[in-house]
Amino acid sequence: MGTSGRRGRPRDEEADARILDAAGDLLLERGYDRMSVDEAATRAGVAKTTLYRRWPTKDHLIVAVVARIQDAVPVAYSGDVRADLTAYLNAITDGLNRMRQVARPATAGDMSAGLVAEVAAAAARHADVGAAVQAMFTRRNALVVTLLEQARLHGELRAETDPEVLFDQLAGALYYRLLVTGRPIDAAYVDRLVTGALDGATS
Amino acid sequence: MGTSGRRGRPRDEEADARILDAAGDLLLERGYDRMSVDEAATRAGVAKTTLYRRWPTKDHLIVAVVARIQDAVPVAYSGDVRADLTAYLNAITDGLNRMRQVARPATAGDMSAGLVAEVAAAAARHADVGAAVQAMFTRRNALVVTLLEQARLHGELRAETDPEVLFDQLAGALYYRLLVTGRPIDAAYVDRLVTGALDGATS
């Protein structure tokens, strides 16, 4: 198939991976405002048209970069839901803290939400970017909700537990601190969070 | 004091309130991108210099508008923490859903985070706006954390309860759905959320 007889799909995936790696590196180096899509194509060694066919705007490209970062975090039930949640939330926290630095290199170390806030704003501005962001989180979060359902079936969580709400409480607290209150998130906070959500506030 | 002999403070506060009301109305009518600060001054019947002296950019003005909306929601412990949290989170949900419509009037009814995402992005872009947003939430959230501490002293919450984490879990889940996953928030979700956070996931 195709004009050259090459297998198209693997080659496309390889180019996609190179583009997303280059875009991710540029984002971390320059920040959202100062990176250009053309530069990502050049650094990845692909034609600009290849990149634009796949991701028509910088906002679309950034969402794909964030999805790739997310997909690097494994999700599997080990039989110990507290350990699994702690590991997963620490991975999310590390990723969010890396992205927190991005887009404001001059004030690195401050509590800006950086790139994460730009992605949220891009999702709010462009309906198709919003749909892409929501699809990405729906897909990823379903994995963790499945893990929580397995833990419930296993008897680690109460039968009445609402896995979707439990996940929102955990991930939500991290993003809330990042995007809204600007409070720090770290391993000590993740421990407090998992303990609070699993143990509950009433006896 | 002053050149005219008028009492300055009450008059300033009255002008501030008029400006914030006008800016809030314009935001709801036009959205963030399409409203102008000058228009808010005109509609409020104040000199542009009065407005700019108080809030130097549109981002600063918007944060003050959001703070005013937040401050309209009362916070007091009634002796029934479940009822208090449910009422408070429903008020937050109503406010967030109103702001969700803003800035994308052409697609009203969709699941955009709208104005809330713009505020988060503005906070990430400008250090002083970020500081103002964080101060606003610190002040507001401390009221709810105090309410939770009262409920704990009252024996409604377990002694081990971490009020700050409990609040992050509740407010965080709402903002997470609004800003990140784009899922709806409503009274039914608030009920699931309060039940999940108070009861906990383990027995």
Nearest partner of A34 among A106, A94, A132, judged by Cα: A106
Chain mean position to CA B133 = 9
B57: how many CB neighbours lie within 10 A of its CB? 14
Name the phi and psi angles at B187, rounded to 5: -60, -35
Q: Do A192 and B162 touch (CB under 8 A)?
A: yes
B192 chain-A contacts, CB cut-off 8 A: 162, 165
Of A137, A160, A180, the CB nearest to B120: A180
Q: Do B175 and A177 touch (CB under 8 A)?
A: no
Specify the pLDDT at position A47: 94
Q: Average pLDDT, stretch A161-172?
A: 96
B133 chain-A contacts, CB cut-off 8 A: 180, 182
Separation of alpha carbons B120 and B138, rounded Å: 15
Question: Quick one: DSSP state of residue B11?
Answer: H
B191 pLDDT exceeds 80? yes
Of A117, A172, A197, the CB nearest to B201: A197
Specify the pLDDT at position A134: 86
Q: Which residues of B85-106 are buried (b: 16+ CB within 10 A; e: fewer)?
A: bbbbbbbbbebbeebbbbbbee
Residues of each domain in chain B carrying CATH 1.10.10.60 = 13-54
A66 chain-B contacts, CB cut-off 8 A: none
The CATH H-level (homologous superfamily) assignment of domain B68-199 is Tetracycline Repressor, domain 2 (1.10.357.10)
What percent of chain A shows pLDDT beyond 70?
Answer: 88
| B51 touches B35 (CB < 8 A) | no
A159: how many CB neighbours lie within 10 A of its CB? 8
A173 pLDDT exceeds 90? yes
| A96 touches A176 (CB < 8 A) | no
A9: how many CB neighbours lie within 10 A of its CB? 8
A158 pLDDT exceeds 70? yes
Chain mean position to CA A117 = 12
pTM of the model: 0.83
B188 pLDDT exceeds 60? yes
Specify the pLDDT at position A187: 97
Specify the pLDDT at position B98: 80
| B28 touches B102 (CB < 8 A) | yes
Specify the pLDDT at position A1: 41
Q: Do B201 and A198 touch (CB under 8 A)?
A: yes
Separation of alpha carbons B200 and A152, rounded Å: 13
Chain mean position to CA A120 = 11
Task: Give B34's pLDDT tier (boundaries 50, 70, 90).
Answer: confident
Burial of A149 (0-12, 13-18, 19+ CB in 10 A): middle
What percent of chain B shows pLDDT beyond 70?
Answer: 88
Separation of alpha carbons B63 and A47, rounded Å: 42
Specify the pLDDT at position A99: 76
Specify the pLDDT at position B101: 67
B99 touches A: beta carbon within 8 Å: no
Encode pLDDT of B59-114 as tens digits. 889 888 888 887 888 899 999 999 999 999 999 998 888 877 664 544 444 445 67
Q: Is A35 left (phi over 0), alpha (psi -120 to 50) or beta?
A: beta
Q: Do B124 and A104 touch (CB under 8 A)?
A: yes
B132 chain-A contacts, CB cut-off 8 A: none
Name the phi and psi angles at B111, rounded to 5: -100, 30
The CATH classification number of A13-54 equals 1.10.10.60
A174 touches B: beta carbon within 8 Å: yes
Residues of each domain in chain A carrying CATH 1.10.357.10 = 68-199
ipTM of the complex: 0.83
Q: Average pLDDT, stretch A90-105?
A: 76
Task: Give A41's pLDDT tier (boundaries 50, 70, 90).
Answer: very high
Mean pLDDT lowest among B40-49, B53-62, B92-101, B178-187: B92-101
Q: Which two tokens stand for residue B160?
A: 């081990």
Please report the number of interchain residue pairs, chain A to chain B, with beta-carbon separation below 8 angstroms. 201
Chain mean position to CA B19 = 17
Average model confidence (pLDDT) for chain B? Answer: 85
Residue owning tokens 């985070």: B113
B49 pLDDT exceeds 50? yes
DSSP track, B34-89: T--HHHHHHHHT--HHHHHHH--SHHHHHHHHHHHHHHTS-----S-HHHHHHHHH
B62: how many CB neighbours lie within 10 A of its CB? 24
Task: Give A107's pLDDT tier (boundaries 50, 70, 90).
Answer: very low
Separation of alpha carbons A184 and A179, rounded Å: 11
